[in-house]
Structure 1
Amino acid sequence: MNLINIAIDGPAAAGKSTIARRVAESHSMIYVDTGAMYRAITYKYLQEDKNDDFQALIEDVSLKLVYDEDKGQRVLLNGEDITDYLRSNEVTQNVSYVASKEPVRTFAVKVQQQLAAEKGIVMDGRDIGTVVLPDAELKIYMIASVEERAERRQKENEENGIPSSLNELKKEIEARDHYDMNREISPLQKADDAITVNTTGKSIEQVTDIISDLIDKVEA
């Protein structure tokens, strides 16, 4: 079987990471969570009191994605496992801003492309099919309604003990959509050859099956 790369893009909380992880596991591929990379850099940005010298910031960044049998994929920032801090409200509120900065994106894209060089990668984010992996054999653009995305984020926050309001989450998601789609560098947009998958009202299993069918067609 020829190894392929799969690019999954879409707005916040559309289910990209969950589905990408499932697809990777079911097809013996490697999952790369690009959002976690940007969240890790955002965490460092916050730790340094929001210093906007992003070139200096990334020069002091070492990122590694490692797999733990009990906890799954973990993110190491300069050797420290910071995975449990990446979904905090403060990181979530600042990640779009940090990820829009040219030094940050240049650094992250380079790391992501290196990871995908050997193929067999499932990668999700905002600009994977358009910028990071423009030659990916399969590109998915995943969407869902604002209401459903807010409910998913609320459930995720509850599971992680993070206080949040459903109405506030809806406002934050709408604001983030607007910011991500209109930022100057690598805005969120659907690649011309991407296939739209609407996850509204669908279970994780149903969406995984849809993408698995698409993989079968690419590999056939």
Structure 2
Amino acid sequence: MKPTVVAIDGPAGSGKSTVSKRLASSLGFVHLNSGALYRGVTLLALRRGLDLRDERRLSAAAGDTVMDFDVDGGFIMDGEDVSEAIRTSEVDRAVSIVAALPSVRVAVTGQQRRIAAGKSVVIEGRDVTTVVFPNAQVKVYLDASVEERAARRHADLRAQGERVDVRKVEREIRDRDEMDRTRADSPLLVAPDAEVIDTTGMSVDDVVAAIARSARRVAL
């Protein structure tokens, strides 16, 4: 089987992570969550007390930190598993600011390409079909209603022990959508050759099956 890139874009809460993990497992591909890298840089900034708009220092941190994923999909930075630490509401509120910095995006794009080199991967993000892997063999854009996306994120936060009002989560998702779609560098767009799937009301299995059929055709 030749190395194949399945790139999946979409807004926050559209089901990218759940679908991508399941899809990668089904295909035997590596799962690469690009959002984890931006969250990782954000976590570094918060831990070090850095200005979230200090592009020079944040891009240096993004380039110098060793980032990777373990065999179980855990996100590792400089040898530490930070999979849970990058999913807090504090990181949620700050990540769009960090991810909008052009030099940070360049550094993170380099990290993603390094991790994926020579492998068959399922990569998820907000610009992976348009910027990071514009020549990916399979491109998908997942979407869902704001209400459904907020409910999913609210459930994730509750599972982590955080008490958050779902209406606040919905406002934050709307704000995140606006920032992602209007940022000057690598905004969230639907690639012209991407398959668009609205996951509202769909089962994860149905979404995974649809994408897997396309991936298997091009990987043979």
TM-score greater than 0.5 by the shorter chain: yes
81-90 vs 57-66, which moves further? 57-66
For 1:51-200, what aligned pairs fall within 5 Å after superposition?
51=51, 52-60=53-61, 61-67=64-70, 72-200=72-200
CA deviation string 1:71-123 (max 9, x = no partner): x3222223332222111111001101101101210110011112223141110
110-119 vs 32-41, which moves further? 110-119
- 2:128·2:134 contact (CA, 8 Å) conserved in 1? yes
SS at match of 2:73: strand
- How far apart in 1 are the matches of 2:10 and 2:54? 28
- How far apart in 2 are the matches of 1:101 and 1:63? 20
- How far apart in 2 are the matches of 1:219 and 1:78? 33
Q: 1:170 to 1:97 in 2, by over 3 A?
A: same
The number of residues matched between the two structures is: 217
- Does residue 45 (structure 1) correspond to residue 45 (structure 2)? The answer is yes
Q: What TM-score do the two structures reach when normalised by structure 1?
A: 0.93
- Aligned twin of 1:209: 209
Q: Kindly state the Cα deviation for residue 219 of structure 1 after the two structures are TM-superposed.
A: 4.1
- How far apart in 2 are the matches of 1:57 and 1:25? 33
CA deviation string 1:7-52 (max 9, x = no partner): 0000001010111111111001011011111001001111222423
SS at match of 2:74: strand
- How far apart in 2 are the matches of 1:74 and 1:145? 28
Q: Kindly state the Cα deviation for residue 64 of structure 1 after the two structures are TM-superposed.
A: 2.2
2:55 maps to a residue whose letter is F
- How far apart in 2 are the matches of 1:76 and 1:127? 22
Unmatched runs of 5 consecutive residues or more in structure 2? none
Q: What TM-score do the two structures reach when normalised by structure 2?
A: 0.93
Q: Kindly state the Cα deviation for residue 125 of structure 1 after the two structures are TM-superposed.
A: 0.2
Identity level (%): 36
* Superposed CA RMSD: 1.5
Unmatched runs of 5 consecutive residues or more in structure 1? none
Q: Kindly state the Cα deviation for residue 153 of structure 1 after the two structures are TM-superposed.
A: 0.6
193-202 vs 55-64, which moves further? 55-64
- How far apart in 1 are the matches of 2:55 and 2:126? 20
